[in-house]
Amino acid sequence: MELEWDGKAQEFIDANQKGITFPIQKEAVAVLQNMITSIKEKNIEVILIFPPEYVAIRPFIKNREQIMGIFKALAKNNNIEFWDYSDHPMCSQKKNFYNSEHLKGSAAIEFSKSFAYDLKAYLDGKQTGFIEK
């Protein structure tokens, strides 16, 4: 069963016409850093992924650049990959989402295929159309 658009994104936009700044949770960033460190200590390669998000919500998140900067800094400081799919072509189409952060089932399957292609290409040492090594 495919979930339909739930309207919560519009409720968020209506309630935050001037935008919103989300607090940066330093404890959550530290937990993520600890996870990265722990995984790398086991000689497991880490790739941070930012999944597709519905683009209409972006202008209302005032500190989105700061949030993305944290992920980029974690990747750089830990010498790991950061793959940002927030500009994936499916992000501009509301029909792919049931809310601004979650893909519908069919779109999730399509994105998973795209991601699998990128991951395979990365592991094979190639560039893909979306992810650059």
pLDDT in tens, 62-94: 999 999 999 999 999 999 999 999 999 999 999
Residue 20, phi then psi, degrees to nearest 5: -140, 145
- pLDDT tier at 126, thresholds 50, 70, 90: confident
The domain spans of the chain are: 25-123
Q: Classify residue 118 as exposed, middle or buried by CB count within 10 Å of its CB (0-12, 13-18, 19+).
A: buried
- Is the pLDDT at 12 greater than 90, yes or no? no
User: What is the pTM assigned to this prediction?
Assistant: 0.86
Compute the average pLDDT of residues 25-49.
Answer: 97
Please report, as a single letter, which amino acid is at residue 125.
Answer: G
From the list 54, 51, 63, the residue with the least C-alpha distance to 9 is 54
Alpha helices in the chain (DSSP H): 8-15, 26-41, 64-77, 105-123
Query: What is the chain's alpha carbon radius of gyration, rounded to the nearest angstrom?
Result: 16
Q: Which fold has domain 25-123?
A: Rossmann fold (3.40.50)
pLDDT at site 3: 86
- Is the pLDDT at 133 greater than 50, yes or no? no
* Cα–Cα distance, 118 to 122 (Å, whole number): 6
